Amino acid sequence: MIESVLIANRGEIAARIIKTAEKMGIRTVSLFTETDRGTPHTQLADKAVFLPDLPGHGEPYLDIERIITVARAEQVDAIHPGYGFLSENPEFAAACQKAGITFMGPDADAIRLMGDKGAAKQKMIENGVPCIPGYNGADQSDETLAIEAEKIGLPVLIKAAAGGGGRGMRLVEDMNDFESLLASARAEAASAFGSDAVILEKALTTVRHIEVQVAADAHGNVVHLFERDCTCQRRNQKVIEEAPSTVLEEDLRERLGADAVQAARSINYRGVGTVEFLMLPSGEYYFIEMNTRLQVEHPVTEYITGIDLVDWQFRIASDAPLPKEQADITFTGHAIEVRLYAEDPDENFLPQTGTVLEWSPATLPHIRNDHMIVPGRDISARYDPMIAKVIAWGESREQARRRLAKALRGQRLAGFRTNCAFLLRCLEHDYFRDNELDTGFIARLLDEPKAPVPHPLEQVAVASTYLVECRKWQSGPTDWSSLGNPFRHWHYKIEDTLKSCQVSIDGDRVRYQDPDSAVILDIRFEETGPHSMIGWIDDQAHPFTFWEENGETVLDFGEHTLALTANPFAAERDGDGASDNTIVAPMAGKIIAVEAQAGDRVDKGQAVILLEAMKMEHRLCVPRDAKVDRVSARIGDQVARGDILLALEAED
């Protein structure tokens, strides 16, 4: 059995691997950069090794030579790559083998084959695994690809040949757009995977994304651990995952599992991995790719099967046979996972940065929280914006769904915006409740108007902000005058609308009167943390977190997030219109493309700067037709949020 392991990863997956290793008595060594100093995975490991940023070396977690050097120095038996970073890098697997260190995953040949989408597809066709019609040839000229796209028929999908996860993927619905979409896909693929090669596939509509968990040992044993339904996606990125799929009849489940096992067996796979399929309403399904690593969504499989997949990884890497045969693997109940991101859904899911001011996950029965959140630490733009996974199990899908929604409502997180309200919106949608899903579900949901914010939440938000402001002005929280507690006019801006009301404060209570109503509300506040409160109206509790952000108070009620500007002494005034003349960085990141220079004429909506942050690319567009006055952004620049990148000539 492996006795020591180095985890070449960070955050929640590193912490999760360490916990299983600890149960098995395996010594652990973690890595950390300056950004990750003091995070949970560095504290849980038996030893943590610092990887400083070195000029010319790039991201430390991607530096194969340095990681191997640390592994040798620490005399570990194995390296676990987690997911992301080097987990599907064949050169890393080969370097481990050359150094005499066990790589906890398949060999370099299997990773390389499955990493090449065209070669992987051809291998599956040869072994009888159904594949989507398309083109995966060696001729990568624009002309050939356009001809092949015409043959396949629209809509057609352009996909990066060397990677997955939605990067380097573009949907073509009009051949007039093919050239520009191909160029865009190539550029993103080259940036993400180091290769601009692509394949083409017939774009299937009204499909589900079903993936099968497989495991294979060095003794020829290959099994599946049933399927996960990952249909809820946004731009080909998984948002909600569940297991098992409730739309599969038993014979279809068996056929899917058998094809997944055949896929793994055909490449002499060793380790745990995931074979992914798209399934039509008819039950027909097609192979799309194989992920040769542990998946982000592996906890839902662990919940229903009772099997620790990381434990199995350690056993397989130690040359032990699989702990169970296929007939002995069963599942019970249903599990659902959501990915909690530091992003603002109301701003096109723009990644967010900030300091964790307060964090309290919901500790409820049958709820699992895998996270990397530490109060007082900064959420950086350096890494992926996923900060936690919340997983619920139930005896039925509906019970798991309700438990998960309750857990999301019950957690407390302050300091930056997240997608929590968006996740609840998905979970509570009739289509999700009724399991009437396909991969276009979230796109359609985003086209629907959002439910208005319930009036009590706005009243609580206004009253709480007034309470906090009063405590800043005076030593005590009570308004006082010789006339008792008077009402004051309180001006505020909420969601870009200027409003006013009358308020009065007495201890932890705020009396609130809307100017259009004679009704006076008595709102009592209970502090539950440094940045969290409960607002009580009669016997109804409204818990929320709050923090300051760019001059606003942000209040997160779980299903709704409000931004309120306290403006008690100023009347409405016009803005200076500066935003129409400049493009500023919406968050910290790196400039990777500049498409305009001083003197150029640009059209409204034209993308002029490409900013990379949190492993995502953000196209910054001009707000109006204009002439460029100056460009301060340069390719390679690291910019901070709010930096002016480009200025337009002022309007006449």
pLDDT in tens, 382-393: 998 999 999 999
pTM for the whole structure: 0.84
Whole domain around residue 184: which residue ranges? 133-202
Q: Work out the mean pLDDT of the chain and round it to a whole number.
A: 91
Q: Worst-scoring range by mean pLDDT, 329-338, 502-511, 576-585?
A: 576-585
Residue 131, phi then psi, degrees to nearest 5: -130, 155
The answer to whether position 110 is within a domain reads no
Indicate the range of 65-69, 239-243, 459-463 predicted with least confidence: 459-463
pLDDT band at 343 (very low <50, low <70, confident <90, very high): very high
Residue 201 token pair: 């596939």
Structure confidence by residue, pLDDT tens digits, 237-272 = 999 999 999 999 999 999 999 999 999 999 999 999
293 classed as catalytic: yes
Catalytic-labelled residue, pool 293, 368, 403, 509: 293
478 pLDDT above the threshold of 60: no
Tell whether 509 is covered by a domain: yes
Average pLDDT over residues 212-216: 98
Q: Of 180, 202, 224, which residue is a domain's last? A: 202
Domain match, 322 and 231 both: yes
Report if residue 85 sits inside a domain. Answer: yes
Q: Which pLDDT value is given to residue 235?
A: 87
Residues 379 and 506 in one domain: no
Does the residue 41 lie in any domain? yes
DSSP conformation letters of 91-158: HHHHHHHHTT-EESS--HHHHHHHHSHHHHHHHHHHTT--B-SEE--S---HHHHHHHHHHH-SSEEE
Summarize the confidence of residues 182-191 as an average pLDDT. Answer: 93
pLDDT of amino acid 117? 86
Query: Among 429, 447, 465, which residue terminates a domain?
Result: 447
Q: Is the pLDDT of residue 7 over 90?
A: yes
What pLDDT is attached to residue 615? 64
Q: What is the pLDDT of residue 612?
A: 84
**Residues 433 and 510 occupy one common structural domain:** no
Domain count, the chain: 5
Do 369 and 226 belong together in one domain?
Answer: yes
In this predicted model, what pLDDT tens digit does every residue of 565-579 receive, in sequence order? 875 433 333 333 346
List CB contacts of 482: < 8 A, sequence separation 6 or more: none
pLDDT band at 531 (very low <50, low <70, confident <90, very high): very high
Q: How far apart are CA 114 and CA 217, in angstroms?
A: 18
User: Is-contact 193 160, C-beta < 8 A?
Assistant: yes
Q: Do residue 187 and residue 316 come from a single domain?
A: no
323, part of any domain: yes
The residue out of 383, 412, 447 marking a domain boundary is 447
Look up the CATH number of the domain holding residue 523: 3.30.700.30
Identify whether residues 314 and 238 lie together within a single domain: yes
Percent with pLDDT over 90 in the chain: 75
- 413 is a domain residue: yes
Q: What is the reported pLDDT for 486?
A: 67
The domain spanning residue 338 has which CATH number?
3.30.470.20
Query: How confident is the model at residue 475, as a pLDDT?
Result: 46
Confirm whether 118 is domain-assigned: no
Per the domain annotation, does 604 fall within a domain?
yes
Residue 409 Cα distances to 261, 621, 642, angstroms: 39, 35, 32
pLDDT digit string, tens, across residues 130-177: 999 899 888 999 999 999 999 999 999 999 998 777 789 999 999 999
Residue showing tokens 């309470």: 467
Per-residue pLDDT averaged across 72-93, rounded? Answer: 97
Both 437 and 462 in a single domain?
no
Give the confidence band of 485 by pLDDT, cuts at 50, 70, 90.
low
Mean pLDDT confidence for 617-629: 89
The reply to whether 303 and 161 lie within a common domain is no
Q: Are residues 339 and 243 in the same domain?
A: yes
What's the burial of 469, exposed, middle or buried (CB within 10 Å: 0-12/13-18/19+)?
Answer: middle
pLDDT at 469: 80
The reported pLDDT for the residue numbered 574 is 32
My answer on whether 408 and 488 are in the same domain is no
- One domain for residues 198 and 215: no
Which tens digit of pLDDT belongs to each residue from 574-612? 333 346 788 988 887 889 999 999 999 999 889 899 988
Going by pLDDT thresholds of 50, 70 and 90, the confidence category of residue 514 is: confident
Cis before residue 40, ω within 30 degrees of 0? no
Averaged pLDDT, 472-496 = 62
CATH number of residue 609's parent domain: 2.40.50.100
Residue 529 and residue 582 share a domain: no
Q: pLDDT at residue 482 above 50? A: no
